[in-house]
Amino acid sequence: MTGAELAAYRQQHAGPVLVAFADWLAVQRPRVLPKSAIGEAFTYASNQWPTLGLYLADGRLTIDNAPAEQAIRPFCVGPAAGTGCIWAGTAGYSPLPSC
C-alpha cells in the first residue's frame, strides 16, 4: 500500500476506534485522581492525542517505535545490552546514546 492508501485505511478502520477511546477517556478522566497511576496514564494518553492524529493522517508513520529500536539494536553490545544505555561513541559509532 502507498502512504496515502494506508492513511485512508487507518482513517476508516482505526479512526473510529480512536474517537471512541477519546470519548471514553473524556468521560472517565474526571473520575480519577490526577496523581494516581491511572490518572497519570490518562494524562499521558491525552497528551499523545496530537501524535495519534498524525498517525491517522500519514501512512508513512508507524504506531510504535519498534523499527527505530531495531535499527539501533546492533549498537547495544556487551553486558549492558538489555540492561541500560551504553555510549557507542567509544566504539567508533555515533556519539549518541544507542539504547
Locate the domains of the chain by residue range. 1-63, 65-99
Per-residue pLDDT, 82:
56
Per-residue pLDDT, 96:
53
Per-residue pLDDT, 61:
87
Place of cell 539494536: 73
Per-residue pLDDT, 40:
96
**Distance in angstroms (rounded) separating the CA atoms of residues 23 and 70:** 34
Q: Is the pTM of this model over 0.75?
A: no
Place of cell 491511572: 38
Q: Which H/E stretch holds residue 43? A: helix 37-47
* DSSP E strands, the chain: none
Per-residue pLDDT, 73:
77
97 pairs with which residues across the strands?
87
For the chain, 99 residues long, the average pLDDT of each consecutive 10-residue run is 91 94 93 95 91 89 84 68 53 51
What radius of gyration do the chain's Cα atoms show? Answer: 19
Decide: helix, strand or coil at residue 97: strand
